[in-house]
Amino acid sequence: MKIKVCGITNNRNLREIASLQPDYMGFIFHRGSPRDVTETVGSLLLSTVPSTVKKVAVVVDKPEEEVVELVRKYGFNAVQLHGNESAGYCRKMMDVCEVIKAFRIDDSLPPELPDYEGSCHLFLFDAKGRYQGGNGIKFNHDILKGYNLKTKYILSGGIGDTDLPYLKNIDLEGIEGIDLNSRFEISPGYKSIAPLKEFIQKIRSNATVNK
* Domain region containing 39: 2-205
- Helix, strand, coil shares of the chain as percentages rounded to 5? 30, 25, 45
Whether 79 is covered by a domain: the verdict is: yes
pLDDT digit string (tens) for 67-119?
Answer: 999 999 999 999 999 999 999 999 999 999 999 999 999 888 999 999 999 99
pLDDT value for 88: 98
Whether 98 is covered by a domain: the verdict is: yes
Whether 211 is covered by a domain: the verdict is: no
Whether 104 is covered by a domain: the verdict is: yes
Best CA proximity match to 48, nearest among 74, 15, 6: 15
Cβ contacts of 67 within 8 Å, gap of 6 or more:
57, 59, 79, 93, 96
pLDDT digit string (tens) for 142-199?
Answer: 999 989 999 999 999 889 989 999 898 888 999 999 999 999 999 999 999 999 999 9
Mean pLDDT of 56-76: 98
pLDDT value for 210: 42
**Residue 81: CATH number of its domain:** 3.20.20.70
* Domain count within the chain: 1
CA distance 77 to 56: 6
Q: Which amino acid is at 39?
A: E
Helix 193-205 to helix 11-19 angle (10° resolution) is 20
Positions of E strands within 11-127: 24-29, 54-59, 78-81, 98-105, 122-127
Whether 210 is covered by a domain: the verdict is: no
Give the single-character DSSP code of 117.
Answer: T
User: Would you say residue 136 has pLDDT above 60?
Assistant: no
* pTM confidence score: 0.93
Whether 127 is covered by a domain: the verdict is: yes
pLDDT digit string (tens) for 8-40?
Answer: 999 999 999 999 999 999 999 999 899 999 999
Cβ atoms of residues 49 and 35 within 8 Å: no
Whether 161 is covered by a domain: the verdict is: yes
Cβ atoms of residues 175 and 152 within 8 Å: yes
